[in-house]
Structure 1
Amino acid sequence: MGAVCCRSQPIDFDGEVNLFHFALLRCVGKGAFGKVRVVQHKQTRDLYALKYINKTKCVKMKAVPNVIQERRLLEEVDHPFIVNLRYAFQDDENCFFVLDLMLGGDLRFHLERLGSMPEETVRFYLAQLSSALSFLHEMGIMHRDLKPDNILLDERGNAHLTDFNIAVHFGERKLTGVAGSMAYMAPEILLKRGYTYSIDWWSLGVCGYELVFGRRPFRGRSNSDLTYSISRDPLKWPDDAEKKCSRSGMQVLKGLLERDPSKRFGCKPHGEGFQELRRHPWFKPIDWDTLDTKEQTPPFTPDANKANFDASHELEELLLEDNPLKAKARKANQENMSTEMRQMEEQFTSYDFKKMQRRSYYPHNQHLISTATATSSGLASSRPATPANDLRVENSGLRVEGDMRMDGGGGIMYNSNSIELNGREEITMKEVRVDPIHLEKDYP
């Protein structure tokens, strides 16, 4: 009299990548239709961040084109200071991104705790991020959402750019769609004059200013006030600016925050803008020859004894999740799919960085058009929203027209066909951010 032991099927690591290849560890982030958690590859034992997106919620929020576009853009990208895609796959319920795992927290996390950062630390981050931006622009890609929240540190303190949800290819024709996080938008976006990759260098300047001085250079209580400040107010320095930043450092920040894109640091064509930035006296302490190889010691090392993410995500996963993530075999019958589900099934293709060469889908990813005329999705932030944060009304043929205003809590109300953006219920083109974690032990 003995029970029959049901053994699990052996995992085929030579076959197409799927969720069975990974051990699911800690939940570290939550979005409107997906979560982020740490996973470990069962064969290689390597740790990654797994971002997974619920297909049904994605379709309901009309965000299918953005998810596919992000998947395609990430396949083109591989750089030392970018959170790179390693695997992509889907099952019947979710689409999965497996990304580099960052253990050091994002710069918003550290900025809120430190208040500001030393000039030499910010110089190091700007050097690394400018290298990443130069690479993207050479690939014909603009990020469009550079801000401290989207800059992650590894365990040693190197900075990496993440979140390509609204990144797009650019060409000779300028874009006009309003996209990005408003406080970091370049004036040419807000004034709807048409823009190209120069907007990323402006955002880098806003980030640098905020990291050094603990506040953004342009602010406003309302949408119109913020637009006016970004587009017209003179750049002002805090009273204690010279105690926190050298004159050459302020010169670089001023050059990045130049309203004329043709004169803005980093914006000269054919990579000359990046070379000009490298040659600036402020960057003299940076050894550019060894920067990309990460041989240099970062000036700030994240505390390895503390968790750099909101632990409530994991608690919620344990107590409240009614459909916990687990690996499931795919169903054989896929005939009765909606148009959007079929689009994800066909266009969110599998990727394995160890088996496939990266490729570009451009210009095809410019033409992913939803059946709806307005697209939106959401992000539940683990921290209070910063003023004028996370407005995304965007591209791929998708436009929303309407009036914007900021609410009293620092969010944005976007009135158009009952679409609202506010501090409590963001409805944006954003999905989930890859939050890093601190691992306290080795997992089996």
Structure 2
Amino acid sequence: MVNEEVCQQLERLKLSSSVQDPPSNYNSDTDEPLPRQRNSDDQLTKEVVLEHDYSSSPSKVSRDDFESICVLGRGAFGKVFLVKHQKTKELYAMKVLKKASLVVHGRQAIQAKTEREILEEVQHPFIVKLCFAFQTPLELHMILDYAVGGELFRHLSHEGMFSESTAVFYAAELVLALEHLHSLGIVYRDLKPENCLLDREGHVVLTDFGLSKVAVDGKTNTICGTAEYMAPEILMGLEYDITVDWWSLGILLFDMITGSPPFSSNNRKKTIDSILSKKIIFPYYLTADAKDLLSKLLRKNPNARLGAKPKKADAIRRHRFFRTIDWKDLLDRKVTPPIVPIITDPESAENFDPTFTQEGLTASSPPSDDLQHVNSHFLNFSFVNSHVHI
């Protein structure tokens, strides 16, 4: 049975938006899978772990420089909009966070600053690029590359499951993205289909660093994430390191080639109990290489998990499941993606969920009685990427 203390702690964390329930994609009476449903946006309070002086990088852009076109996504503290730069006509994704809501929810303000700092540090072909950051009296704005191909979640929902060759490709690109983050000491902690976007060509773009953290001495112990994708050591409240991301990769890979994560229930206790104690049952049609990789990524002992020190990502890259991958060509984007998004009009956001794209554009924030106090949490937030020209 699940440790009751862990479940109680998760319940308290859920109230502060640190941990979310698994999606209700299972029938509570029969445990039969229902149509795939989106995980809600999850948030986390955490420490600032990167320190910079932004005084030399004043914002050269403002909200007035961008025309809003539609909503791409929505979270607990704001929305993501498709926007067009008024001068260059370039399309971007604009993440808007409500300052007052962040401050009211404790250390969420620190989280937003941390996310912005991490995005400045990271430069990788399979990770979203931060182009600009600025603020208004009521909101924070991060201008990101627009991944016009939409969420991997949406493509996976449409296909039901991927062929193994398709899963090999996207798992391999994610291995390279995670390996880069880990080289910077960053634990990603929120790998799931909703956070994997596709660009125009179909390459993966890892996004949403709201739960990421630079782990001091390589270790951290915050309980956070999406329940279905959380490693056992996180759920047990133990110290953990980058190997939790390799567990999540295993869950995502299983999801891609079978159509659902291995530990799914509409009941949190059942989900956690399965993660902590149940063995994975592999469908008969999985290849021996797929089963072997999954069994090694999903070892409950993190020290025995594939990707653990000292070999780390190198051990994963050398696995036979990836035998068809030329890692240098993949990193150089010379390998043709198996999914090429259909794009008739980039401004239509046709590869994003119409539940969002058909929303109104209102992005107003509730007024604050103490703007000076609220804004004191967001000093030096502005940023301009020197590689982006406007």
Fold match (TM-score > 0.5):
yes
Q: Is the 8 A contact 1:220 1:229 kept in 2?
A: no
How far apart are residue 39 of structure 1 and its match?
1.9
Q: 2:111 aligns with which of 66, 69, 78?
A: 66
Unaligned runs of 5+ in 1: 1-13, 325-335, 357-444
Q: Is the 8 A contact 2:243 2:307 kept in 1?
A: yes
Q: Is the 8 A contact 2:70 2:359 kept in 1?
A: no
2:219 and 2:75 mapped to 1: Cα distance?
A: 31
Q: Secondary structure at the match of 1:309?
A: coil
Q: Is the 8 A contact 2:70 2:360 kept in 1?
A: no
2:154 and 2:110 mapped to 1: Cα distance?
A: 30
User: Is 1:55 aligned to 2:99, yes or no?
Assistant: yes
Identity %: 36
1:39-54 matched pairs, under 5 angstroms = 39-54=83-98
How far apart are residue 279 of structure 1 and its match?
1.6
Greater helix share, 1 or 2? 2
Q: Secondary structure at the match of 1:317?
A: coil
Change in Cα spacing, 1:35 to 1:220, as seen in structure 2 (3 Å) is closer
User: Is 1:109 aligned to 2:150, yes or no?
Assistant: no
How far apart are residue 81 of structure 1 and its match?
0.7
1:121 aligns with: 166
Per-residue Cα deviation, 1:350-385 (whole angstroms, up to 9, x for no partner) = 1111279xxxxxxxxxxxxxxxxxxxxxxxxxxxxx
AA matched with 1:317: G
1:100 and 1:355 mapped to 2: Cα distance?
A: 12
Q: Secondary structure at the match of 2:84?
A: strand
Q: 1:172 aligns with which of 195, 209, 217?
A: 217
How far apart are residue 25 of structure 1 and its match?
2.3
RMSD of the alignment, in Å? 2.2
Q: 1:308 aligns with which of 314, 328, 351?
A: 351
1:79 and 1:355 mapped to 2: Cα distance?
A: 13
- Which deviates further from its counterpart, 301-310 or 51-60? 301-310
1:84 and 1:57 mapped to 2: Cα distance?
A: 25
Q: 1:133 aligns with which of 178, 191, 197?
A: 178
Q: Is the 8 A contact 2:190 2:225 kept in 1?
A: yes
Change in Cα spacing, 1:323 to 1:161, as seen in structure 2 (3 Å) is closer
User: Is 1:189 aligned to 2:234, yes or no?
Assistant: yes
1:115 and 1:355 mapped to 2: Cα distance?
A: 38
1:25 aligns with: 69
AA matched with 1:130: V
Q: Secondary structure at the match of 2:144?
A: strand
How far apart are residue 20 of structure 1 and its match?
2.7
AA matched with 2:251: V
How far apart are residue 52 of structure 1 and its match?
0.9
- Which deviates further from its counterpart, 206-215 or 189-198? 189-198
1:252 aligns with: 293
Q: 2:305 aligns with which of 264, 267, 277?
A: 264
AA matched with 1:279: R
Number of equivalenced pairs: 322
Q: 2:129 aligns with which of 79, 84, 98?
A: 84
How far apart are residue 316 of structure 1 and its match?
3.0
Q: Is the 8 A contact 2:59 2:382 kept in 1?
A: no
2:326 aligns with: 287
Change in Cα spacing, 1:38 to 1:274, as seen in structure 2 (3 Å) is same
Q: Is the 8 A contact 1:59 1:341 kept in 2?
A: no
Per-residue Cα deviation, 1:16-65 (whole angstroms, up to 9, x for no partner) = 22223333322222333322111223344332101111222332333211
Per-residue Cα deviation, 1:74-133 (whole angstroms, up to 9, x for no partner) = 111111111121111111121101111111121221222211110001100110000000
1:355 and 1:157 mapped to 2: Cα distance?
A: 23
Change in Cα spacing, 1:351 to 1:200, as seen in structure 2 (3 Å) is same
Change in Cα spacing, 1:246 to 1:38, as seen in structure 2 (3 Å) is same
AA matched with 2:159: L
User: Is 1:207 aligned to 2:233, yes or no?
Assistant: no
1:151 aligns with: 196
Change in Cα spacing, 1:232 to 1:56, as seen in structure 2 (3 Å) is same
User: Is 1:353 aligned to 2:385, yes or no?
Assistant: yes
How far apart are residue 178 of structure 1 and its match?
0.8
2:259 and 2:363 mapped to 1: Cα distance?
A: 40
1:206 and 1:58 mapped to 2: Cα distance?
A: 30
Q: Is the 8 A contact 2:218 2:242 kept in 1?
A: no
Q: Is the 8 A contact 2:154 2:353 kept in 1?
A: no
Per-residue Cα deviation, 1:200-223 (whole angstroms, up to 9, x for no partner) = 000000000011001211234532
User: Is 1:235 aligned to 2:269, yes or no?
Assistant: no
2:316 aligns with: 277
AA matched with 1:167: S
1:193 and 1:61 mapped to 2: Cα distance?
A: 25
Change in Cα spacing, 1:218 to 1:323, as seen in structure 2 (3 Å) is closer
AA matched with 2:75: G
Q: Secondary structure at the match of 2:272?
A: helix
How far apart are residue 166 of structure 1 and its match?
1.1
Change in Cα spacing, 1:286 to 1:56, as seen in structure 2 (3 Å) is same
Task: From the CA coordinates, give the structure whose radius of gyration is larger.
Answer: 1
1:343 aligns with: 377
